[in-house]
Structure 1
Amino acid sequence: MPEDRYELEEKLRRKKMRGYVYAAFIIIIFYFLLKNSRSVSLAIDHLLAVIQPIFMGFAMAFLMNPIMTFLEIWLDKPFKKIWKNQQTAERASRLVSSIISLVILMGVVIYIIATVMPNLINTIVYLANHIDYQAAAVLDYCNYVTKGRFEDALMQAKQYKIGDLMEEGLNLLEEYIDYDESKMMTTITSSVLSIGKIFINLIIGAFVSIYVLLSKEVFKGQAKKLICGIFRPDYANIILEISRKSGDIFYGFIIGKMIDSIIIGITCYIGCLFMKMPYPILVSVIIGVTNIVPVFGPYIGAIPTVLIIFLTEPKKGIYFLIFILILQQIDGNLIGPKILGDSTGISSFWVVFAVVLGGGYFGFWGMVIAVPIVAIIYYITGKLARFLVIKRGFPEETEEYISLDHIDTENNVLVPYSQFHDQEKKARRRRFKIRKKSTK
């Protein structure tokens, strides 16, 4: 018996020592990262630049997978008739489906660029060349609306040309910036090389996406095998469950949000044609792209589009603002929930928190990806909290803790604030009665 007790104490001591070692190791790593934060940041940036085509390939495979799955089901029977060997038929079906899905994805992207970009460029050039005329028309409209009350101020404002003001600003900027033609050429050359590098990375990413889709089951099996080998069975089950949930959240949100944005962009374009709005393609593209960003996307897209239309035809700019507000309400309350459902499982506060945090660190795409990432963290935290409270014998429903005042340590139960408050009132009354009797 004493030997068993000695062994138990020895195990506890070793466990504590391991904990101290792990804690010291984590502190040392954290100190090293903090001390060399700039070098670590540069190393991470270099690593991300090197593996950029791999990221692109995975992103393309992520978008191609639903198309490939649909095509694979459709091509399954014909290929099995051609090849008697089932494995050969499945491989051929997967290869053809992957290639077709890549062609469809690239075709959609090229078609959008070929049809939309010329209109966008022409619209931007037209706006830049006629900005003074359009600004003057807006001032005349304001004078008409105000019935000439501010005519002198508005007419004085018409004398200032926006083009001249921009030229003066550039001249003023050149006085404070050291302008060097060699530096300018270097900047242009590096920009061209960067565009060329992105193009090459896209080509490499296309091949990577094919390889990923061809071997996606193998990759899944290898990852699961590694998890089952490293972790205990109960921990492995938790990791596998979290992985499946993470995939559902990412697919449900990203794919759903893209479909929702395409629908909103097309609806906006049809509405602009029906109301004869200027620049329908430009404003529809802006509205559709910015709609990908949760919460703030509609407002980000509405500001420039309303301003562009207002500069051209002020009255239609006001009508377009009303149209966008109605469209966003329909999207937020009808179209979005139907497509997305409850894919994230987080409240509006956490969506706003994710968008602000992701946008602050990673820009536009950070605002998009941060929502499913925060949803996954929220899900993991909820699972952990549920496991811990059940382990301590407490209820797992969150509603049970809303009115919690304290925990009764003797009976290990939760005491609500109202019940505790009532008990305190009764205790005070009893003490008051005892004092009253003692004074008599």
Structure 2
Amino acid sequence: MKTTQRTKQIMGIIIAAILLFWAVNNFDAIRNGWNTIFALTLPFILGAGLAFVLNIPLRIFEKYVTKWTGKYRSWYRMLGILFSFLIVTLVLSFLIFLVLPDLQETISSFISIVPQEINKWINWINDFITKNPEIMRVLEEMPLDIETIKSQAINAAQTVAGGAFGSIVVLITGIINSVFNIFVAIVFAVFILSGKETLTRHFKKSIYGLFSLEWANYIINVGKKANEVFSNFISGEVVEAFILGLMFYISMWIFGFPYRLSVSVLTGVMALIPIFGAIIGGAVGAILIAVVSFKQGIWFIVLTVVIQQIEGNVIYPRVVGNSVGLPGIWVMFAVTIGGGLFGFAGMLLSVPTLSLIYQLFQDTINYNLESRGLEVESDSANL
């Protein structure tokens, strides 16, 4: 019996090594195939993600409406879906109609200030050249072919014009594809939410029909844990980002910083990305403010550090809780790798994904130790 089990383990290791060797030598083909599959299924992936996010307010709506009326009715589902879409629409309306005018004013003010700063630098360079005439003598002695420069400028202008036309075509095509993907994603999300119990039942039936009872129970429990981790993480991150943005706005209003609304919303949105989001939001805000007042830009960096300390040590543990459950080094690893592979979406979803893997790994280790009669420091889930 032991020999057979060891033979299976050796065969498994050999097969895994062969697959790993093949994947390393065919990485480009795997990446191209993945990109093709991802492009074809993107609307459905977006729809599934949208359904997952909308399911959070939908559950809250159905829970409290059922509690208030004392009975669940089938039409609560469609009303709850409309309520969830209304919440998303209100948030987008807030960003568009309230933040956009302030953002436009911020950009206009920034654009109007930048030329003044450029003129200051030009004047400084002119003064420097005036005080150092040997620089002009060196420039005058340099061999310059005016006709060659003119020809290169014309070629560069033609290249830019052609690139601009191509960019416009690509932009229009991208807009059409985005509208189509959004439409399909919304329809697919409504389909999932309206029949989520039926889909869940069919999923469980398929799992128990394809796998042994032990493995089926494990897969179902993993699915439940994944739903719990991602739901808690997303809802907690949204609430935490709102609180952080509000803290920035109140603090900037008290100390008289410019661009309050734009910088606060930017910082709150970027806070959805663990670790790097706060750095990016604070850096952009400091640059915008420093153009108006360099001193205030420095003080904004100090304010950002103080608020981030409060957020990281007081707000984040209580709002997001243990949904992440990752050491700081693994959070940084997840955000870096996820962002490098999948961009902004990878930075958002890499942390709960690695958190789920981390928790499953810990639970498996603890379960194996307990099954052998060994003590563990923390309780383990019998997955």
TM-score by length of 1: 0.71
Does structure 2 retain, via aligned residues, the 8 Å contact 1:278–1:309?
yes
Note the C-alpha offset of 1:125.
3.5
Aligned to 1:286: 266
User: Mean Cα displacement is larger for which, 116-125 or 241-250?
Assistant: 116-125
Give how far 1:377 is off: 0.8
Offset of 1:398 from its aligned partner?
7.5
In the alignment, is the contact (CA less than 8 A) between 2:258 and 2:289 conserved in 1? yes
- Go from structure 1 to structure 2 and tell me whether the alpha carbon gap of 1:316 and 1:182 turns closer, same or farther (over 3 Å shift): closer
Instruction: Name the counterpart of 1:111.
Output: 94
Alignment of 1:38 onto 2:28 = yes
CA distance in 1, matches of 2:194, 2:335: 34
1:240 positional shift: 2.1
> Could you tell me how far apart the structure 2 residues matched to 1:31 and 1:173 are?
50
Assess, with a 3 A threshold, how the Cα gap between structure 1 residues 204 and 114 changes in structure 2: closer, same or farther. farther
The structure whose RCO (Cα within 8 Å, separation 6+) is larger is 2
Task: Show the counterpart of 1:65.
Answer: 55
- Using a 3 Å threshold, how does the CA distance of structure 1 residues 350 and 28 change in structure 2: closer, same or farther? closer
In structure 1, distance between residues paired with 2:36 and 2:108:
37
Report which stretch shifted further, 387-396 or 62-71: 387-396
Give 1:342's aligned residue: 322
Q: How does 1:52-131 map to 2 (within 5 A)?
A: 52-76=42-66, 90-131=73-114
CA change 1:155–1:220 in 2 (3 A) is farther
Contact residue 99 and residue 210 of structure 1 kept, 8 A = no
Q: Provide the residue aligned with 2:169 in structure 1.
A: 189
Q: Percent identity?
A: 25
CA 1:99–1:304 in structure 2 vs 1: closer, same or farther (change >3 Å)? same
Which secondary structure does the structure 2 equivalent of 1:130 belong to?
A: helix
Residues 156 and 313 from structure 1, CA distance in 2 versus in 1: closer, same or farther, beyond 3 angstroms?
farther
Deviation at 1:272, TM superposition (A): 1.9
Structure 2: distance between partners of 1:184 and 1:390: 65
Amino acid at match of 2:273: V
Please give the secondary structure, in 1, of the residue aligned with 2:375.
coil
Correspondences of 1:317-396 after superposition (within 5 Å): 317-396=297-376
When residues 311 and 221 of structure 1 are mapped into structure 2, their CA distance, relative to the original with a 3 A threshold, is same
Superposition map of 1:296-311 within 5 A: 296-311=276-291
Alignment partner of 1:396: what SS? coil
Contact 2:233 2:323 in 1 (8 A): yes
CA distance in 1, matches of 2:106, 2:52: 33
Shift of 1:352: 1.9
Alpha-carbon separation, structure 2, partners of 1:269 and 1:115: 14
Q: Is the 8 A contact 2:266 2:281 kept in 1?
A: yes
Contact 1:79 1:93 in 2 (8 A): no
Does the alignment pair 1:205 with 2:185? yes
The offset of 1:393, in angstroms, is: 4.2
TM-score (norm 2): 0.81
Q: Would you say the 8 A contact 2:56–2:231 is kept in 1?
A: no
**Corresponding residue of 1:148:** none
3-state DSSP class of the match of 1:237? helix
| Structure 2 CA distance for partners of 1:223 and 1:184, relative to 1, 3 Å | same
Deviation at 1:101, TM superposition (A): 1.5
Please say if residues 61 and 212 of structure 1, whose CA atoms lie closer than 8 Å, have aligned partners that are also in contact: yes
Match of 2:74, SS state, is: helix
1:258 pairs with 2:238: yes
Larger Rg: 1
Structure 2 residue 231 is the aligned partner of structure 1 residue 245: no
Distance 1:304 1:216, change over 3 A: same
Question: Aligned-residue CA RMSD in angstroms?
Answer: 3.4
* CA shift for structure 1 position 266: 2.1
Residues 266 and 284 in structure 1, CA contact (< 8 A), matched pair in contact too:
yes
Residues 24 and 175 of structure 1, relative CA distance in 2, 3 Å threshold: farther
User: What amino acid is aligned across from residue 262 of structure 1 in structure 2?
Assistant: F
Q: Deviations over 1:304-355 (max 9, x none)?
A: 2112111111222222222211111111111111111111222222212212
| Residues 134 and 312, structure 1, Cα contact 8 Å, conserved in 2 | no
Q: 1:135 to 1:303 in 2, by over 3 A?
A: farther
Q: 1:337 to 1:135 in 2, by over 3 A?
A: farther
Deviations 1:183-216 (A, max 9, x none): 4312211112112211221122112111111111
How far did residue 135 of structure 1 move? 6.3
- The aligned residue for residue 135 of structure 2 is none
> C-alpha separation between the residues in 1 aligned to 2:378 and 2:54?
39
Instruction: Report the CA distance between 1:117 and its aligned residue.
Output: 2.6
Structure 1 unmatched ranges of 5 or more: 1-7, 81-85, 140-151, 160-170, 400-440
- Match status 1:268 vs 2:251: no
Q: Is the 8 A contact 1:344 1:375 kept in 2?
A: yes
Q: How many matched pairs?
A: 357
